[in-house]
Amino acid sequence: MASKKSLTIGILTGGGDVPGLNPCIKAVVDRSIEEGISVIGIRRGWAGLLEFNPDDSDSRKKNLLDLDKGIVRTIDRSGGTYLHTSRTNPGRVKTANVPEFLSDQAKEGELHDFTGHVLGNLERLGIDVLIPIGGDDTLSYGERLHEEGFPVVAIPKTMDNDVHGTDYCIGFSTAVTRSVNFIHSLRTSTGSHERIAVIELFGRYCGETSLIAAYLSSVDRAIISEVPFDPEKLAKLLMDDKQANPSNYAMLTISEGARMVSGEIIQYGEEDAYGHRKLGGIGMQTGEVLKKLTGQNIVFQQLSYLMRSGAPDSLDLMVAVNYANMAIDLVMRKVSGRMVSLTQGIYTDVPMSTITAGQKRVDVRELYDVERYRPKVRHVMGKPMFLY
């Protein structure tokens, strides 16, 4: 790494936006400036480094932004990401997405690896350390750069809270808070019409948002990504719930990545750069099946982007700022190849290889009743704050 006076870091946000990204960016910039470190913001995640053409004078303005305290002064007051985001993976670029100025470097095949170009741009820009803020997809490419020998310090964010190696990711608390609030709001319409409500929440492989939101809002049943469900059994349980409710209604949360025992995960659209297709629709399908099985009218609500919109709550603010300061601490100590994390309520850091070393999922045996389709939280002594 360069000396303290000439040190330059690059920062980017990738994948889905979540509340807390802007406070994290601001905290990185504020602390860096105080330490005499320059900061270059990279626009649209990894796309900014892929699409930056050093021979085009307009390319820098489009893909990069020099950050200082004045620029980031107020960005922490809102959600989303000031640097914008994308699901670009420079190691797996589809032919249709190859920048025109790189077309002569594209090799035969459907996917192209432009990691060499990215590393060259980092060198040309004088970036000494890279701080990507993202989920397991975004950070997996950060790990790739680390393996190539470039210094990387990672910050985990995802509303699903499913990055392996940390108990907490920026965005999760706000997503759960939003979900609980919307669930309680939906009780008025569901109860007024004496219906069954099916509320679909984000959660591709990990059902923690459905589980925790249901647990905190006392929803009758919760379907999670990890456990395929029997719609006939679910219908009977919900009818029992409805009849036992003095207001004659019942409510269900369901992860977008859930599936019926005889069905498949509902996916649509083309694969993104990380091999994922969009999810969504299992809630509507489940509602239609429940209507046929029970004869009851259904309220279906897909919370979707409402879970990740708006300003962060206090916990996400706290973690975002602390993660930012931890990342700069590592930079100052000339330590890289690490991801900042929370483990058992303690701030720490772990090797970036941890990100791809496993999959973070709901502990079904400890936290979920597979027969009754609901959270099963009895003994929390010794567990992390969010039960992971």
Q: What CATH number does residue 200 fall under?
A: 3.40.50.460
Q: What share of the chain has pLDDT > 70, as a percent?
A: 97
Please name every residue paired with 301 in a beta bridge, in sequence order, or none if there are none.
199
Q: What digits encode the pLDDT tens for the residues 340-357?
A: 999 988 999 999 999 999
Give residue 387's pLDDT band: very low, low, confident or very high (50, 70, 90): low
State residue 2's pLDDT score. 44
**27-28-30-34 Cα dihedral, nearest 10 degrees:** 130
Question: In which domain, by residue range, is 207 found?
Answer: 175-307+363-375
pLDDT top residue among 243 and 275: 243
Instruction: State in Å, rounded, how far the first CA of the chain is from the last one.
Output: 36
Q: Is residue 153 in some structural domain?
A: yes
| Whether 308 contacts 17, CB under 8 Å | yes
State residue 203's pLDDT score. 85
pLDDT top residue among 20 and 4: 20
Task: Note whether 273 and 368 are same-domain residues.
Answer: yes
- Min mean pLDDT across 140-144, 353-357, 382-386 is at 382-386
Q: What is the mean pLDDT of residues 317-342?
A: 97
Decide if pLDDT at 3 tops 60: no
Q: Is residue 386 in some structural domain?
A: no
Q: What is the mean pLDDT of residues 151-174?
A: 95
Nearest to 311 by CA among 92, 75, 30: 75
State residue 4's pLDDT score. 46
3-state SS record for 314-368: HHHHHHHHHHHHHHHHHHHCCCCCEEEEEECCEEEEEEHHHHHCCCCCCCHHHHE
State residue 280's pLDDT score. 78
Task: Note whether 270 and 333 are same-domain residues.
Answer: no
State residue 384's pLDDT score. 66
Task: Note whether 93 and 182 are same-domain residues.
Answer: no
Decide if pLDDT at 72 tops 90: yes
Task: Note whether 197 and 250 are same-domain residues.
Answer: yes
Q: What share of the chain has pLDDT > 90, as a percent?
A: 81
Give residue 386's pLDDT band: very low, low, confident or very high (50, 70, 90): low
Q: Which residues are catalytic?
A: 160
Task: Note whether 88 and 166 are same-domain residues.
Answer: yes
Interhelix angle 282-294/231-244, rounded to 10 degrees, is 70
Task: Note whether 164 and 219 are same-domain residues.
Answer: no
309 phi, psi to nearest 5 deg? -100, 165
Task: Note whether 70 and 55 are same-domain residues.
Answer: yes
Task: Note whether 40 and 141 are same-domain residues.
Answer: yes
Nearest to 159 by CA among 201, 118, 121: 201
pLDDT top residue among 204 and 287: 287
**Residue 285 Cα distances to 91, 193, 259, 298, angstroms:** 36, 21, 10, 11
Q: Is residue 385 in some structural domain?
A: no
Residue found under tokens 């709901």: 362
Decide if pLDDT at 329 tops 70: yes
- Strand runs (DSSP E) across the chain, as ranges? 8-13, 38-42, 64-67, 93-94, 111-112, 129-134, 153-156, 196-201, 221-223, 250-255, 267-268, 278-279, 298-302, 338-343, 346-351, 368-369, 374-375
Positive or negative torsion for Cα 349, 353, 354, 360:
positive
How many distinct structural domains can be found in the chain? Answer: 2
Decide if pLDDT at 204 tops 90: no
CATH for 141: 3.40.50.450
